[in-house]
Amino acid sequence: MKNGYERLVRPLLFSVDAEAAHDLTIRLLGSASHFDLALRVLKFFQPPSKPKTLFGLNFPNPIGLAAGLDKNGVALPAWAAVGFGFIEIGTVTAKPQPGNPKPRIFRLSAQQALINRLGFNNDGADAIADRLRRLREGGQWPAVPVGINIGKSRATPLEEATDDYLYSFRLLRNFADYITLNVSSPNTPGLRELQEPQKLSALLHAIRSEAGTAPKPVLVKISPDLSSMELEAILAACEENEIAGIVATNTTLEHSSVPAVIDKEGGLSGAPLRERATAFVREIVTNSAIPVIASGGICDAASAREKFQAGAQLIQLYTGFVYRGPGILREIMDQL
- Tell me the per-residue pLDDT of 264-290, one tens digit each, with 9 for 90 and over: 999 999 999 999 999 999 999 999 999
The pLDDT assigned to 214 comes to: 73
Write out residues in the chain with pLDDT < 50, as ranges. none
pLDDT per position as a tens digit, 125-174 = 999 999 999 999 999 999 999 999 999 999 999 999 999 999 999 999 99
pLDDT at 187: 97
Q: Which residues does the annotation mark as catalytic?
A: 185
CA–CA separation, 92 vs 309, rounded Å? 31
- pLDDT given for residue 215 in this prediction: 86
4-335 CATH fold: TIM Barrel (3.20.20)
Largest CA distance in the chain: 54
Give the per-residue pLDDT at 2.
Answer: 83
Q: What is the pLDDT of residue 300?
A: 97
Contact in structure between 153 and 93 (CB atoms under 8 Å): yes
Distance between CA atoms of residues 328 and 320, nearest Å: 8
User: What single string gives the DSSP state of each residue in 132-147?
Assistant: HHHHHHTT---SS-EE
8 A C-beta contact, residue 61 and residue 50: yes
DSSP-based three-state secondary structure for 315? strand
Cβ(78)–Cβ(71) below 8 Å = no
Amino acid of residue 244: A
Report which of 105, 115, 68, 112 is spatially closest to residue 255, judged by C-alpha positions.
Answer: 115
Q: Does residue 91 have a cis peptide bond before it, meaning omega lies within 30 degrees of 0?
A: yes
Q: What distances in angstroms separate CA 31 from CA 74, 75, 85, one per listed residue?
A: 9, 8, 21
